[in-house]
Amino acid sequence: MTKSLQSAADIIVGKVGAPRGLDGTVRIIELTDFDGRFDNLSEICVGGKNFSVEDVKHIGGQLFIKFVGIDDRDAARTLTNKFLMVDRSQAAPLDDGEYYTFDIIGCEIFDGDTKLGTVTDVLKTGSNDVFEVDGKILIPALKSVVRSIDIAAKKIFLHDTPLRPT
């Protein structure tokens, strides 16, 4: 069954890597922060088409999936480098104050009444995320810096501490 990718509700959760063995099993490069995301999966969109999942295995710290109808190495190769997507309604739930990166990107950032720009990327630094604004400004995603985030309005408001250069 073909699935349209016109919806902005599609979330990329992985990417198909190289085939493993001869039976059509493929390695999956996980692009999600949620452990076990693929463990109870019955169906997923791969490169614009829905596939039923036959088997999911974790071997040596790597994830492998066997899709129904992909029964040999050549068929598996046709999926290599394609993204695995789920509908927004299947996204893992978040705790209060947590946001998906794709929800943050595109938000306008305001320092008081001044619009600083639009978030173009979220950098993962290890200690905290950093919002990249128009490729020029970096703003740490800390409660001491960010006053509020309104995903529905696509706006982020900073505390009244000036971040502008003097």
Domains and CATH numbers, the chain: 10-90 (2.40.30.60), 101-158 (2.30.30.240)
* Residue 35 predicted with pLDDT over 90: no
Tell me what the mean pLDDT of segment 84-106 comes to: 84
Measure the CA–CA gap between 123 and 155, rounded to whole angstroms. 18
The model's confidence at residue 138, banded by pLDDT at 50, 70 and 90, is very high
pTM of the shown model: 0.66
